[in-house]
């Protein structure tokens, strides 16, 4: 947000710890001046599988 990027695109939603559309939606915080366009869920199943595999390997 501080870098004033115009668009944020991400794959997997994380409702508990993510920063877009989660407990604190940082890009929609009205205290901040810049609000980039957000597009989530791009290749969602593939991204979720990558994240799950990564954290499974760390345990």
Tell me the pTM: 0.71
Q: Give yes or no for residue 55 having a pLDDT over 90.
A: yes
The mean pLDDT of 38-57, rounded to a whole number, is 94
Q: Is residue 30 part of a domain?
A: yes
For residue 30, count CB atoms less than 10 angstroms from its CB and return exposed for 0-12, middle for 13-18, buried for 19 or more. Answer: exposed
- Which residues have CB under 8 Å from 45's CB, separation 6+? none
Q: Is residue 2 part of a domain?
A: no
Domain count, the chain: 1
Q: Which domain holds residue 33?
A: 7-58
The mean pLDDT of 33-48, rounded to a whole number, is 92
Q: What is the pLDDT of residues 24-38, one digit of tens each?
A: 788 888 888 888 899
């Amino acid at each position: 947000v501080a870098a004033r990027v115009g668009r944020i695109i991400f794959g997997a939603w994380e409702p508990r710890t993510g920063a877009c559309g989660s407990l604190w939606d940082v890009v929609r915080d009205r205290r901040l001046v810049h609000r980039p366009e957000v597009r989530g869920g791009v290749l969602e199943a593939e991204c979720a599988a990558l994240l799950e595999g990564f954290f499974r390997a760390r345990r």
